[in-house]
Every structure is written in structure tokens, then in C-alpha cells.
């Protein structure tokens, strides 16, 4: 005789925003890294070869600020040049 499928246990009425009973957060801790992701900051993943050159976030920010200044200066110079028709 074949055994039939056993019926799955009934799931209690759980709303879309409710936590399912099988998830246990009783031992959960606050995220210790949350402060690193300040409002308005952006997380970027660097390629390994770039990360070797810029080992810290401060180094990356310093390089990008320098590059941004150069780009802004170049744009100002381009905008001041008269257009020849």
C-alpha cells in the first residue's frame, strides 16, 4: 500500500508584516556597524587592485576630493572659453 502525503501543518494567520513563529530573535543584538552607514553616506565596493592603493576610506575620500577639484576647475575653464562660430 502506498503512503499518501502527510498534510502540512496549518500555518497560523500571519500578516505580511508579521514575523513568522519559526524565527527566533530573542538573542538578537543591535547592529554594531549601523553607525558607519550614516544618513547620506554611500557604500562602494572597490576592486582589489584599487583597494591596495587606497587602504582606508579616508584615503579614497582624499583622492576623490582632489579629482573633483580638478574636474570643477576644468569645467570652469571650458565654460569661460569663447565659442567661435
CA dist list (Å): 80 to 32, 74, 75: 49, 10, 9
Mean pLDDT of 39-48: 84
pTM for this model (two decimals)? 0.48
Q: Name, in order, each residue with C-beta under 8 angstroms of 60's C-beta and a sequence gap of 6 or more.
A: 46, 54
Reported confidence tier of residue 36, pLDDT bands at 50, 70, 90: confident
CA dist list (Å): 30 to 18, 25, 33: 20, 11, 9
Which of 8-12, 26-30, 48-52 has the highest mean predicted lDDT (pLDDT)? 48-52
CA dist list (Å): 85 to 75, 76, 81: 20, 20, 13
Share of the chain above pLDDT 90, in %: 33
Amino acid at each position: 500500500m502506498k503512503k499518501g502525503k502527510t498534510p502540512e501543518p496549518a500555518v497560523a494567520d500571519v500578516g505580511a508584516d508579521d514575523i513568522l513563529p519559526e524565527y527566533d530573535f530573542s538573542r538578537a543584538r543591535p547592529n554594531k556597524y549601523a553607525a558607519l552607514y550614516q544618513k547620506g553616506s554611500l557604500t562602494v565596493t572597490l576592486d582589489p587592485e584599487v583597494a591596495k592603493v587606497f587602504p582606508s576610506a579616508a584615503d579614497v575620500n582624499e583622492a576623490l576630493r582632489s579629482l573633483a577639484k580638478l574636474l570643477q576647475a576644468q569645467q570652469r575653464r571650458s565654460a569661460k572659453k569663447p565659442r567661435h562660430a
